[in-house]
Structure formats: structure tokens, C-alpha cells
């Protein structure tokens, strides 16, 4: 398994490289964001370990650029800060997982193995409801050919609703599926993100397809 480690603290990067190589990984290093981006796009990596605070270009932007280039290599972000805001931001720029510094080496290896396993799975198939189309793997969306920009979280939420058009999907199910069963986020986050989606997929088109069924959940209507 081949990894790219993007980390400007040279001693930490080299220690990670040695440690991961001892675990059977091959690991390339990049010490700034721009070099990290170049290597990520040029190389065939099974996973990328990406620090957030980097010279040249920060990890969030590196991650967003990698995804914008259509590259879906699993990304584990390292953050010196901890807290839900950073986690949400890391995941919304297209990262697959995150780890707060200082981290346990054993945990890092376990997370990387899990990411590589998941990364080799099939990408979700494109879906269509009425004239709304979504390709979850490419993270592209359009209505009647008009492109709509969605964040990764919005893509996941829309995919969950589009997989069962016309059916009510419960708030808890959406929370579990999009944010994860142990995320511990405020359940109202679902309503907030549905609002974002309505402003993107419905309102500009004079439509009302994303509906709240009070006390039950939400549904995406076909028309």
C-alpha cells in the first residue's frame, strides 16, 4: 500500500514515514501544500495523510483541489486543533477522516487500514429524480442541465433522499447515514442542511421538491 504524507514538521513526517514503512506501507513525503497537491495528483496513492496547517496552501484547500480534480484517493486529515468545527470543515472539503494531534500511532495505522479498505469499494452510482441528477462519486449535480454546486455533506444528504424518491426518510436515519451514528451532532443540523439544499436544488428553479413531513421526516418528490 502506497501512502502520501503531507506534513511540514519534518521530524514528525519522517518519523511517520519510518513507522508506516515498518507496518508494510510505502510512504512518500511532501513538506508543503503545493508539493503535496502536485504529488497527490501525479501519484497513485492508496491514501493520503494531510496536515491542515501547511505552508504554501493549507490542508483544506489541498483537499478541495484534489477532489476538484476528480481524484478520490482516501484522505485522512491531521489537525492540531480539536473540536466539531474543524471536523465538520475537514469533512466538508472532501476529507474521509480526521485525526487530532497528538494522536496515537496505533490509531493512525488502524484508521489508514480502514480507509484503504473502504477506498477500494465501489463508488456510488449516479441517480436521477425527475430532472434532478446527482453523481455522488464525481460530486456533480444538475437540474435540467444547469450545474449545481454542492458540498460533500450536501451530496451525501441528497443522495440519501434520492435513493428513495417519494418516500419519507426519518431525521434520525439521515443523521446516522450522513453524519454517522456516533457523530453526537445536534439533530437540527439536518434541518439546516435541508435548507441549504432547498436554496440550491429547488428555489432557483421555482420548485418545491424537498418537503418536510412534520414529525416524520423528509421526502424528495419527483416533480
Residues 47-76 that bind Ca ion (CB under 5 A): 51, 53
For residues 4 to 43, the per-residue mask of contacts with Ca ion, x marking binding by CB under 5 A and - elsewhere, is ----x-----------------------------------
When the beta carbons of 40 and 155 are compared against Ca ion, the nearer one is 40
> What cell numbers appear for 148 in the block?
449545481
Instruction: Give the DSSP H/E element, type plus range, for residue 49.
Output: strand 47-51
Shortest gap between Cβ of 132 and Ca ion (angstroms)? Answer: 40
Q: Are 48 and 3 in contact (CB under 8 A)?
A: yes
Parallel, antiparallel or unpaired: strands 75-79 and 26-30: unpaired
Shortest gap between Cβ of 167 and Ca ion (angstroms)? Answer: 45
132: Cβ–Cβ under 8 A, 6 or more apart, which residues? 141, 142, 143, 162, 201, 209
Interacting span for Ca ion (CB under 5 A) from 44-52, 102-110, 111-119, 205-213: 44-52
* Closest residue by beta carbon to Ca ion: 53
Q: Using CB atoms within 10 A of its CB, is residue 96 exposed (0-12), middle (13-18) or buried (19+)?
A: buried
Shortest gap between Cβ of 151 and Ca ion (angstroms)? Answer: 24
Residue ranges that bind Ca ion, judged by CB under 5 A? 8, 51, 53
Amino acid at each position: 500500500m502506497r501512502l502520501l504524507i503531507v506534513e511540514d514538521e519534518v521530524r514528525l513526517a519522517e518519523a511517520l514515514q519510518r513507522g508506516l514503512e515498518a507496518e508494510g506501507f510505502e510512504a512518500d513525503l511532501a513538506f508543503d501544500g503545493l508539493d503535496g497537491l502536485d504529488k497527490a495528483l501525479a501519484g497513485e496513492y492508496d491514501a493520503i495523510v494531510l496536515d491542515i496547517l501547511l505552508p504554501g496552501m493549507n490542508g483544506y484547500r489541498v483537499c478541495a483541489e484534489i477532489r476538484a480534480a476528480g481524484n478520490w484517493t482516501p484522505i485522512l486529515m491531521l489537525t492540531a486543533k480539536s473540536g466539531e468545527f474543524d471536523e465538520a470543515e475537514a469533512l466538508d472539503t472532501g476529507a474521509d477522516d480526521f485525526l487530532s494531534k497528538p494522536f496515537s500511532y496505533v490509531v493512525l495505522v488502524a484508521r489508514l487500514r480502514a480507509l484503504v479498505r473502504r477506498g477500494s469499494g465501489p463508488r456510488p452510482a449516479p441517480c436521477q429524480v425527475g430532472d434532478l441528477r446527482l453523481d455522488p462519486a464525481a460530486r456533480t449535480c444538475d437540474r435540467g442541465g444547469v450545474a449545481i454546486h454542492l458540498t460533500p455533506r450536501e451530496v451525501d444528504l441528497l443522495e440519501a433522499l434520492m435513493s428513495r424518491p417519494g418516500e419519507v426518510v426519518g431525521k434520525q436515519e439521515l443523521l446516522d447515514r450522513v453524519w454517522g451514528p456516533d457523530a453526537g451532532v445536534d439533530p437540527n443540523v439536518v434541518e439546516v442542511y435541508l435548507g441549504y439544499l432547498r436554496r440550491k436544488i429547488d428555489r432557483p428553479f421555482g420548485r418545491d421538491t424537498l418537503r418536510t413531513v412534520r414529525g416524520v421526516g423528509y421526502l424528495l418528490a419527483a416533480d
